[in-house]
Amino acid sequence: MKFKTFAAFVGPSVFMMLLFIAAPLISVFLQSFQITQPVMQQIEVETCTPGFLTQTCTTELKTVPIIDDVTGKTQTTTEWVGLQSYRNVLQMDKVWEAIGAGSWGDILQIDFWKALRFTLSFTLLTLPLVIGVGLMIALAVNNASKSVRGPVIFVSLLPFIITPVIGSLSIYWLFVGDGILTVMLERWTGQDIAMFAQSWTIELLMYFYRVWHVAPFAFVIFYAGLQTVNMDTLESAIIDGASRFERLRYVIVPHLMPLIIFIALIHLMDCYRVFEEIVGFRSQAHVISLQWLTYDFLVPDDAGNRAVSRASASAMLTMIGIVLLLILPLRRTWRDHKGGAH
């Protein structure tokens, strides 16, 4: 293929990636080392009590932001502060203080470490469940009769089709307050149940929702992979007396291993950026994620200011975490690629 033809096909994609991925990423990286603050000034404000003859006036100094005469917006100044924004997010001074006092639980009261703990737990605990449930559904559908495969595939894909926020809200409404499932559990146990009054029950519902929502994606990938399994190898294993579990372990799983790694990569990248569940389950008081923490930094305060520098630092730390999680599966993929090349 000529270079001009290659450039014509690839050029638009490269341009869009540079414009919508690389440029914002560089901007966030630079903003994580800057702090933008409003320019303040001190003015004298006179305050008088009601009345005429007995009126008393006092003058005090107040610090207020300077308003631009042209745009009508608050004037701001940007300063390079190095790693200060990262220090503000990590709060390592409080971490070392808690470690020195032996109060490990205090570390999880710091927003970043609290969000990191949940994000890692959510990502790593749901990964094997998604792969396991997806593989079981794929095996069941693959061994089912052709007459029921279509309806089973359709029903299995429904959770994946639902918008994440809508799906999480659906689970929330089933268990919150007088939700249908809450009422049924209360009648069965004879006790009042509050699923959203403590963090561990909220997390369990989030784990359940993520597996329910993403397992169909793994099912589709595995089902497609099962269609390419070498039947001669399976028949040979059956003749040799291999059990179902042995055929699964030594024939099917090795054949599907590239797909398992692919699903793991997608799941790790997606779950580490968990946000919809926090919003849908309204868990901010008990459970937060790194992505939600970045969003919270960008919410304007009472004065209309946003912690853009801390949000940028949080976003960069989140991206670093994703890269670290992807190292192992990417190394496995690279080794398999090199082995296949030889």
Per cent of the chain over pLDDT 70 is 96
State mean pLDDT over 72-92. Answer: 84
pTM for this model (two decimals): 0.82
Question: What is the reported pLDDT for 189?
Answer: 82
Helices (H), the chain: 3-17, 23-31, 84-90, 92-101, 104-107, 111-143, 146-161, 164-175, 180-189, 199-226, 231-239, 244-247, 253-271, 276-280, 290-298, 308-341
State mean pLDDT over 319-336. Answer: 85
pLDDT tens digits, residue range 121-158?
Answer: 999 999 999 999 999 999 988 888 787 888 888 888 88
**Which tokens in the block code for residue 180?**
């249908």
Question: What is the reported pLDDT for 230?
Answer: 85
pLDDT tens digits, residue range 1-48?
Answer: 677 887 888 888 888 888 888 898 899 899 899 887 777 777 777 777
Amino acid at 116: L
Q: Are 208 and 167 in contact (CB under 8 A)?
A: no
Tell me the average pLDDT of the chain: 85
Rounded alpha-carbon distances, angstroms, from residue 5 to 1, 2, 10 = 7, 5, 9
**Domain residue ranges of the chain, discontinuous segments joined by +:** 110-341
Question: What is the reported pLDDT for 317?
Answer: 92
Q: Are 113 and 98 in contact (CB under 8 A)?
A: no
Q: What is the CA radius of gyration of the chain?
A: 28
| C-alpha to C-alpha distance for 235 and 323, rounded to whole angstroms | 41
In order, the DSSP letters of 75-125 are: PEEEEE-TTHHHHHHH-HHHHHHHHHHT-HHHHTTSHHHHHHHHHHHHHHH
Domain covering 110-341 assigned CATH 2.60.40.10 in the classification:
no
Question: Is pLDDT at 51 greater than 80 in this prediction?
Answer: no
Question: What is the reported pLDDT for 303?
Answer: 64
**Which tokens in the block code for residue 217?**
């994606």
Question: Is pLDDT at 56 greater than 80 in this prediction?
Answer: no
| C-alpha to C-alpha distance for 115 and 108, rounded to whole angstroms | 8
Residue with tokens 């994580």: 32
Q: Of 80, 67, 78, which Cα lies nearest the Cα of 36?
A: 78
Question: Is pLDDT at 342 greater than 70 in this prediction?
Answer: no
Question: What is the reported pLDDT for 174?
Answer: 86
Question: Is pLDDT at 285 greater than 90 in this prediction?
Answer: no
| C-alpha to C-alpha distance for 19 and 233, rounded to whole angstroms | 49
| C-alpha to C-alpha distance for 228 and 200, rounded to whole angstroms | 41
Question: What is the reported pLDDT for 259?
Answer: 92
Q: Residue 326: count other Cβ atoms within 10 Å of its Cβ.
A: 16
Question: Is pLDDT at 308 greater than 60 in this prediction?
Answer: yes
Question: What is the reported pLDDT for 128?
Answer: 94
| C-alpha to C-alpha distance for 77 and 213, rounded to whole angstroms | 45
Question: What is the reported pLDDT for 107?
Answer: 87
pLDDT tens digits, residue range 234-277?
Answer: 888 888 888 888 888 888 888 899 899 999 999 998 899 889 88
